[in-house]
Structure 1
């Protein structure tokens, strides 16, 4: 009897930017820093470090607490939205707000509950972009109407960098959606994937870093 062949591994796309001391942060936010608390040597068998960073450094998931004083912390948010089928839609060079007309070409009756929008040809992982593209609030409203649970983007925010009202975040709050920001979608073709981007169980935090990946569907 022949053994069952090992299933071929499904291709993965790592859509998380590198996190280090040079990673760009929102102006005024806490940059990544690291120091060594212990190093391998006589009497010490391990390296141990301490890190300081905003939970919004790199690819991250916002908690409702980030935009709602009474909102849930990231540790209390259900993981359902951060794991499952998603669609990557290209709106490269569009903006400053991603309007419905920029993504309508990829929206149909089979739209998954997770939508990631690529706006950069090459995401600037080494510098802050104050002119980042963001979602138009009406676009998120229409996605929510279609049953979308999570929206993501390859910029630092779903709202313009200089916004004081955070209109798209307020749509997220009101409609109960989840959000991923600072993704790297360079080289990811439009289409459907499995999203895996689980936040840490930080019980008092307003956001969490994620190691976001896309996996080809079986």
Structure 2
């Protein structure tokens, strides 16, 4: 068996969400007991909880919902690059040393340890020109171990607008703490949510 790295944070009550977004909540609509053979739960959550794929609908009124997207970008060769301590924005020069033979999917680690149990206001994000640089090199999907490809206070969402314009797919809230730099197979399929602006994913990397 080829080794797998689970790069998804746990999702449970208390999982961090963007301020104002819907937190994960679970209740029981049926419970095991006399006359009831099963447990059945009800979930309430933002589709941006945990590791997730943003759809174009998230940042463009005319954009596609996540369930209508081609799955191909979410499955295939990818490269993990460590960019710890590089500043608030990941710039092309941070990734340039890793450009040779770059596969069409790139995941960037910025945290020493991802804050899977709490919200943090300050986190690294992609500079818009970095996403342009990656798209010019044939990249079709980008990922990051933070809550957004844009800085938390951004109201213009410049990086998201590059995703829209260059038709890039994106994964956010990954956990890359224990993943060495290098190339892997990415498997991170979104759910077929036909009206949603995003979808949770169970993101994994498999050794090549």
Which residue is equivalent to 1:72? Answer: 64
Which residue is equivalent to 1:82? Answer: 74
Within 5 Å, which residues of 2 pair with 1:58-69? Answer: 58-69=50-61
Which residue is equivalent to 2:128? Answer: 137
Q: What is the Cα deviation at residue 55 of structure 1?
A: 0.1
TM-score, normalised with respect to structure 1: 0.95
Within 5 Å, which residues of 2 pair with 1:200-215? Answer: 200-215=191-206
Q: Where does the alignment leave 5 or more consecutive residues of structure 1 unmatched? A: 1-8
Q: 4+ runs of 1 displaced by more than 2 Å?
A: none
The answer to whether the 8 Å contact 1:95/1:134 transfers is no
Distance in 2, Cα, partners of 1:93 & 1:51: 37
Distance in 1, Cα, partners of 2:87 & 2:161: 19
Distance in 2, Cα, partners of 1:32 & 1:101: 37
State how many pairs are aligned.
208
TM-score, normalised with respect to structure 2: 0.99
Provide Cα deviations, 1:106-126, integer angstroms capped at 9, x if missing partner: 111x11000000001100101
Provide Cα deviations, 1:127-168, integer angstroms capped at 9, x if missing partner: 111101000000000000000000000000000000000000
Which residue is equivalent to 1:192? Answer: 183
Q: CA RMSD in A?
A: 0.5
Which residue is equivalent to 2:16? Answer: 24
